[in-house]
Amino acid sequence: MKNMFTILLVSLFAQLSQGAENVSSFTAQMITQAELSNYERTSTFAEVVSVLDALQRNSQLIHRETLLITEDGKDVPILVLANPAISSPEQAKASGKPIIYIQANIHGGEVEGKEASLIVMRDILFGDKKHLLDTQILVFVPVYNADGNDNMTENSRPSQEMSPLLAGQRQAHGYDLNRDGMAVETPETRALYANIIQRWDPDLLVDLHTTNGTWHGYSLTYAPSYHTAGDTEPSDYTAQIMLPAIQSSVKEKFNLEFSWYGGFDYHDWPPTELRTYNHAPRYLTNNMGLRNRMAILSETFAHDRFYKRVHAANVFVEEILEYTSVHGGEIQRINREADARVAAKAASGSYQNGIQFEMVPLEETLNLLSYKYIPFTKEDGTTDFVRSSEIVEIQGVLNFNAFAATMSATVPKAYVFSSDFSHIADKLRQHGIQVDTLQASAIFTGEVFNVTDVEHQSFVQNNHNNSRLQGSFVSGNRNFSAGDYYVPMDNRLANLIFYLLEAQADDGLAYWNFFDHYLLQELASAESADYPVFKVLQ
Ligand SMILES: [Zn+2]
């Protein structure tokens, strides 16, 4: 008995010292502006940096790098958390651990992920989440759109109830950073690809947002990297295995309802369909799928009070990291197998892959939680709906959260184009794609897209009237000279290369007007013109 009592005392003393150590490490400077202001304010960029400084002063486990210096001169930090600490991607690779990347605030007014990721880092370094560094390396960018964040006004998020008094702007200097995944026209996207995606090669990207409107009944909605032209396995694993497991652990531990992202038209009450957003890889989470990596889009519920939104984002990130801390090896294996499969398949080429897509329902229907809408008759005799405060469950809703190809093209062994198009070679290299130059002239056999018309979309998207090329493929041989560009497909980025360079891809470089100047000049004096990127098929 005495022995047992001594053991208990020693153990209690150990716990107390451990607790005391934690208390002394968690300093006042680590408290976020949201917490300090009773959730009436969100952090400025400088206030985020001040919390990060405090975390770093008190922990050896943070390594800090610069994502970019923004147009307004802000030094946007990347925080790499690891135990034992690391300071380079080489050390990360040598550790064998998966790298999980969390970014927040890409839309400057969607501030919840920014506050939550600071709290997550603090929980990991000084709270009860230290074990999350046992088996993985975590990379955080809490303020991705730093310039947008600090451009705060009272009305930047009009559809969000009980928001912080001031919040930043969605865009950064006129660009929506989450539509720039293919065109790469902003310093933020260039920096993301160079300093995170290529440098650290994370196995999972988590992108933290807040929705604009739909009154569904969830604290948070999510989406995987949508499968388009990419390998299916990383996307399927995220959608079918990882997200459902996280959804149930959140329900079990916190009694919060999380579900698929989407919206519905309440004028058709009760809704029969939930429809998600676009599949296109200009959205960063979808872009990851073309790179054989996993991604999760997170959207806190706009109509929850601010503290609840921060809590939902905090819980989601921590439960994702609980999942990856156990299943990181499996995630790495699935991604690496996809790398090998994509490279091997594209090396021989000549198979069909999708270039345009439509939204389709998943096989399994959804029991949708939503605020209930009640019909009433207006003065003119027509029916409208008013939203009640009751949350109801609507059975058997079609869940449009997948995509199927509506147009395909042949995957070539390589793409070749003239040295006149050095801006295209530069663009591909920004994506991390290998672009070679021909050492001698050569004749290639394959096909080229013969363009008869360049149609422009009537609306403006990220300062573009996007192009849709009309025409058809023609088989043949083409001569190319020394110094011309050759893009081999026998590598893991083949699906990304394909989507960028196919003439009719619904989110490729042609769609983003990169070939307009050349094609419109050619079509001014001819009925048709060859798209200047030749596809090598033999
Ligand atoms: Zn957003």
Please give the distance, rounded to the nearest whole angstrom, from the Cα atom of residue 106 to the centre of ligand 1. Answer: 7
Please give the distance, rounded to the nearest whole angstrom, from the Cα atom of residue 110 to the centre of ligand 1. Answer: 6
Q: Tell me what pLDDT residue 159 has.
A: 66
CA dist 467 and 465 (Å) reads 7
CA dihedral 160, 165, 170, 172 (to 10 degrees): 180
Q: Tell me what pLDDT residue 514 has.
A: 98
Question: In this structure, what are the phi and psi dihedrals at residue 12, rounded to the nearest 5 degrees?
Answer: -65, -40
Mean confidence (pLDDT) of the chain: 94
Mean pLDDT of 508-534: 98
Q: Write the burial class of residue 300 (CB in 10 Å: 0-12 exposed, 13-18 middle, 19+ buried).
A: buried
CA dist 202 and 68 (Å) reads 18
Please give the distance, rounded to the nearest whole angstrom, from the Cα atom of residue 170 to the centre of ligand 1. Answer: 7
Residue 300 in contact with residue 212, Cβ under 8 Å? no
* Residue 444 Cα to chain centre, angstroms: 37
Which stretch of 32-46, 140-154, 164-178 has the lowest confidence by average pLDDT? 164-178
Please give the distance, rounded to the nearest whole angstrom, from the Cα atom of residue 167 to the centre of ligand 1. Answer: 13
Q: Tell me what pLDDT residue 7 has.
A: 47
Between β-strands 137-141 and 273-275, what pairing exists: parallel, antiparallel or unpaired? unpaired
The more confident residue out of 19 and 164 is 164
On the question of pLDDT at 74 being above 50, the answer is: yes
Q: Tell me what pLDDT residue 12 has.
A: 44
Say which residue the tokens 């196919």 belong to: 502
The string of pLDDT tens digits covering residues 322-358 is 999 999 999 999 999 999 999 999 998 889 999 999 9
Report residue 5's pLDDT band, with 50, 70 and 90 as the boundaries: very low
Q: Tell me what pLDDT residue 213 has.
A: 80
Which stretch of 4-18, 155-169, 445-459 has the lowest confidence by average pLDDT? 4-18
Q: What is the DSSP letter of 38?
A: T
On the question of pLDDT at 23 being above 60, the answer is: no
| Active site (catalytic) residues | 299
CA dist 321 and 324 (Å) reads 5
Question: In this structure, what are the phi and psi dihedrals at residue 201, rounded to the nearest 5 degrees?
Answer: 45, 60
Q: What is the DSSP letter of 216?
A: B
Q: In the chain, pLDDT over 70 holds for what percent of residues?
A: 95
CA atoms within 13 A on the CB side of 318: 24
Say which residue the tokens 């296109």 belong to: 280
On the question of pLDDT at 393 being above 90, the answer is: yes
Question: In this structure, what are the phi and psi dihedrals at residue 453, rounded to the nearest 5 degrees?
Answer: -160, 145
Q: What is the DSSP letter of 508?
A: S
Which stretch of 90-94, 211-215, 413-417, 503-507 has the lowest confidence by average pLDDT? 211-215
Report residue 290's pLDDT band, with 50, 70 and 90 as the boundaries: very high
Residue in 257, 343, 298 with CA at minimum distance from that of residue 106: 298
Rg over CA atoms, the chain: 25
| Residues in CB range of 35: below 8 A, 6 or more apart | 115, 119
Q: In the chain, pLDDT over 90 holds for what percent of residues?
A: 90
Q: Write the burial class of residue 505 (CB in 10 Å: 0-12 exposed, 13-18 middle, 19+ buried).
A: buried
Residue in 250, 364, 238, 359 with CA at minimum distance from that of residue 314: 250
Q: Which residues make up the environment of ion ligand 1, defined by Cβ < 5 Å?
A: 107, 110, 209
Mean pLDDT of 476-495: 98
Please give the distance, rounded to the nearest whole angstrom, from the Cα atom of residue 43 to the centre of ligand 1. Answer: 17
On the question of pLDDT at 209 being above 60, the answer is: yes
Segment holding 452, helix H or strand E: strand 442-456
Residue in 387, 407, 524, 419 with CA at minimum distance from that of residue 473: 407
Tokens of 77: 């930090």
* Residue 290 Cα to chain centre, angstroms: 12
Q: Tell me what pLDDT residue 6 has.
A: 47
Q: What is the value of pTM for the model shown?
A: 0.94
Tokens of 101: 């990347």
Say which residue the tokens 């902003």 belong to: 186
Residue 435 in contact with residue 489, Cβ under 8 Å? no
| Strands annotated E in 301-431 | 351-360, 366-377, 383-400, 402-411, 414-417
